[in-house]
Structure 1
């Protein structure tokens, strides 16, 4: 599961992007000014940043320059209403990876995000595999023993995160921080509930579990 930071002072646009991205199994944090954008980008780990140029406080160009000077290489897509070649060149020269002019189609944003995330991935393939469990991250289809498994958005988000960390122990806190945003109140045992649901869908007969409980730590997705 990928974690996205959106920095834009247009609150309504942020709400639309957040809802749309979460429906596509991304975890999203939104902030509305430049200083908060820098703080979030420096203190948390994001897979991609969507950054508006015109912001209260630090503008997007300054933020991008600052992050790159601090060796933060998170892919950045800049959003702006400026459509001149010079403006696009300035954005790319400060360290942005892509440039999208407002207004834009949400499907185009998703396509550009996927392209950047693939570029930074060790594998260019959209498929993640663990034994007979296969995920297509483009279509969000999940197959177990070649049969299509239907997961909810949250179930898919958690399973993809486990797949991307295959073989490693993933704590409940790590899952929480990637699958839910900062506005979530106490989530108690929700992680355990979702893991149980995923297990039931992948292996209804509860045979050899591919998602293993690591007592006192969390979970590990392992084939053997």
Structure 2
């Protein structure tokens, strides 16, 4: 089970790989982009849970990427930590005023970066930093790998569990079938779109048994969301 996805936007390959390695060792999933265009393409494909964003990038600067992400409805609240060699107070203030949630000055230790990532996620999206995800009467214990609703345990297949975990980490957000395929099944597997629909149906039956209200909303021509009825 992979943890929250962190996008590392850094043009120094050795540093980018070092950050990705240490994030994965700490339980996060990671993705690397070497410039602004690659970062924006990656975010268009799948919005991460947090972005580690280098200030000085070839082409589009980190500040400009931050500005663009804050203007987009789907990324307006995306946690962003700026990485930079600029340590002067006016530069730090400029980064924060542009919309960054935190600011780390180079050189830094990877342990500090991981700690800051945890801290920002705990502050901005507390569910992702904890050991449990909750929505209404739904409860997922990440450590024990168990799901319950109104205190009654629900048995799910591994795929159904991953799908529900993705919804619980992003309540209210509508995901298309292709987005769910990437997030739950991954890029490497040849899975058909109808597999998503079939898994949604099974998850719905498991969650909504015994007359409970339906917490999975179908959005016509768009996809699915975890939402209160």
CA contact (8 A) 1:2 1:47 kept: yes
Q: 2:17 — aligned with what?
A: 12
SS at match of 2:125: helix
SS at match of 1:6: strand
* 1:35/1:175 CA distance change after superposition, 3 Å: closer
Determine whether 1:108 maps to 2:113.
no
**How many Å separate the matches in 2 of 1:150 and 1:111?**
32
User: CA-to-partner distance for each residue in 1:173-224, whole Å, 9 max, x for gaps?
Assistant: 342133355x42424587689879989xx89xx9779888x8xx98786899
Q: 1:32 — aligned with what?
A: 34
Match of 1:95 among 91, 99, 117: 99
**How many Å separate the matches in 2 of 1:75 and 1:87?**
19
Offset of residue 110 of structure 1: 1.8
**How many Å separate the matches in 1 of 2:23 and 2:155?**
23
Q: 1:51 — aligned with what?
A: 53
Q: Structure 1: which 5+ residue stretches go unaligned?
A: none
**How many Å separate the matches in 2 of 1:176 and 1:33?**
26
Q: Structure 2: which 5+ residue stretches go unaligned?
A: none
Question: Which has the higher relative contact order, 1 or 2, with Cα contacts under 8 A spaced 6 or more apart?
Answer: 1
Determine whether 1:85 maps to 2:89.
yes
User: CA-to-partner distance for each residue in 1:49-89, whole Å, 9 max, x for gaps?
Assistant: 22122323223123223444567523321123444434322
Q: Which TM-score applies when normalising by structure 1?
A: 0.60
Offset of residue 146 of structure 1: 4.4
* 1:95/1:142 CA distance change after superposition, 3 Å: same
User: CA RMSD of the aligned region, Å?
Assistant: 4.8
Q: Which TM-score applies when normalising by structure 2?
A: 0.59
Offset of residue 20 of structure 1: 4.5
**How many Å separate the matches in 2 of 1:129 and 1:38?**
30
Number of paired residues? 207
SS at match of 1:55: coil
